[in-house]
Chain A
Amino acid sequence: MLEVMKAVPLATIQDRGRPGHAHLGIPHAGALDPVSLDRANALAGNSSAAAGLELAPGRFVARFHVDGIYAVAGAVSVAPMSVRAGDTVEIGGSAAGMFSYLAVRGGVDVPAVLGSRSTDTLSGIGPAVLRRGSLLPLGTLFADRLVPPALEMPSGEIRVRVRPGPRASWFAQTLSGGYSVSTLNRIGARLTGPPLTRTVTRELPSEGLVAGAVQVPPDGQPIVFLADHPTTGGYPVIAVVHPEDLPLIAQCRPSTRVVFYGP
């Protein structure tokens, strides 16, 4: 058992998410930065299916009720550490990046909902957001495997690949440089920059969305959808971020500059 002693405002349990239910209005969820979650899991001796903790910036403290091993990847990196029952793990500030992933040997073993232990902050499916006093059972999803390389945390400026979205032709511009991240949560990243203007102004009936879809609301400021995005949306999608570059967006602190470029 792992006990949360001090939580950050957005501390959740995440795994690879809940694919295949979008037609029922159920979001995908899962780690915003699956590269870092998988690295933390590998370092802790877990399989890729194990659930870990996704922690927003701030001071997070948890206490082990049993002996164990943990590792951290993402904004904060901690090499595998062996701990005894009663020891605490503390995760604090970092130089760059947003989310840190705490993996504990065996994985967090809360009940899976529709095949996933991920918290979905849009619809409320899955375990509750973690608070002081949350008690987390540990599982047995062990695996000895190669540790994937660390994702380099964005600082200053990132470049991300995009391909046109289904409504790219509705806009006077293509998506390129000049944007910066203003706010970011598990649903999406709001960017500010040169307003995107429409050449086709009719209303769009709701249509399906994917992670990485760059949606443009009437103010012309793009939103990049992340793991907890709604399954459908009523504003046109101008472009889609490459799945491998999406973790970089999720790890952007506010005011990080974003340059989009085509394939």
Chain B
Amino acid sequence: MRVLEYGWDGLLLEVDDPVGWFLALREHLETDVDDIVPAAETVLLKGVRKLPALETVSPKTAIKTDRAVTVPVRWNGPDLFDGIVEAMRDTVFTVAFCGFAPGFAYLTGLPEAFHRPRLATPRRSVPAGSVAIAGPYAGVYPRESPGGWLLLGVTELVLFDLSKEDPALLTPGTTVRFTDA
């Protein structure tokens, strides 16, 4: 782990397993920081009031968390290619982090053979519920938005609902499986 100072009251942790650290730090630091934000290779601690004793914390395995979500998909997307539907069905994904839009989760676990670059020109509009991949990630667009990921299908599952106490269905550490709708 490398710890970088981030401005006035932030710390950026460069770690091998950001979501594992997020899950562990959330238990240890809840009252000492304003927010803990996992990302691709880092965990940001915002508003640090007390320097965390990081040496007493070790990352948690995401797969052991009790949150698991199954996403039923109609595989009718314009960017399907050979073997990808089977790979999506066979992979146990983990939410590594959220970003881009509220409730948009970056899912890791897709075998490298199925990694594809994002579209050179993003689509102006991607429908809500679109199941998509780009780079090492899979994701589901929680609402209609522009987007450059490869579209594989659509789910009717509601991923983000502000009327619920926990508005995001896919939170960091959640285990995700895709099935046929």
| Count of chain B residues with a beta carbon within 8 Å of a chain A beta carbon | 35
Contact of A207 among B22, B34, B40, B98 (CB under 8 A): B40
Complex Cα distance A231/B39, Å? 10
Output the least CB separation between A213 and chain B (Å).
7
Q: Does B81 contact A (CB under 8 A)?
A: no
Is the Cβ of A25 less than 8 Å from the Cβ of B41?
Answer: no
Contact with B along A208-246 (1 / 0, CB 8 A): 111011000000000000000011100001011111000
27 chain-A/chain-B pairs, Cβ below 8 angstroms: A21-B35, A22-B44, A23-B37, A23-B97, A24-B98, A24-B103, A25-B103, A26-B168, A113-B162, A123-B102, A125-B102, A125-B162, A163-B5, A164-B5, A165-B6, A166-B12, A205-B40, A205-B41, A206-B99, A207-B12, A207-B39, A207-B41, A210-B6, A210-B10, A231-B99, A239-B7, A242-B8
List residues of B (161-181) whose CB comes within 8 Å of A's CBs: 162, 167-168, 171-172
Given A24-B98, A113-B162, do A206 and B39 touch, yes or no (CB 8 Å)?
Answer: yes
Is the Cβ of A208 less than 8 Å from the Cβ of B8?
Answer: no
Is the Cβ of A240 less than 8 Å from the Cβ of B8?
Answer: yes
Of A23, A213, A231, chain B has the most CB atoms within 10 Å of the CB of A23
| Count of chain A residues with a beta carbon within 8 Å of a chain B beta carbon | 34
Is the Cβ of A20 less than 8 Å from the Cβ of B162?
Answer: no
Contact with B along A107-131 (1 / 0, CB 8 A): 0000001100000000101000000
Q: Does B87 contact A (CB under 8 A)?
A: no
Q: Does B153 contact A (CB under 8 A)?
A: no
Is the Cβ of B7 less than 8 Å from the Cβ of A163?
Answer: yes
Q: Does B4 contact A (CB under 8 A)?
A: yes
Chain A residues with CB under 8 A of B168: 24-26
Chain A residues with CB under 8 A of B171: 23-24
Q: Does B46 contact A (CB under 8 A)?
A: yes
Q: Does A19 contact B (CB under 8 A)?
A: yes
List residues of B (77-131) whose CB comes within 8 Å of A's CBs: 97-104
Question: Which residue on chain B has the smallest CB distance to residue A25?
Answer: B98
Contact of B22 among A21, A23, A209 (CB under 8 A): A23
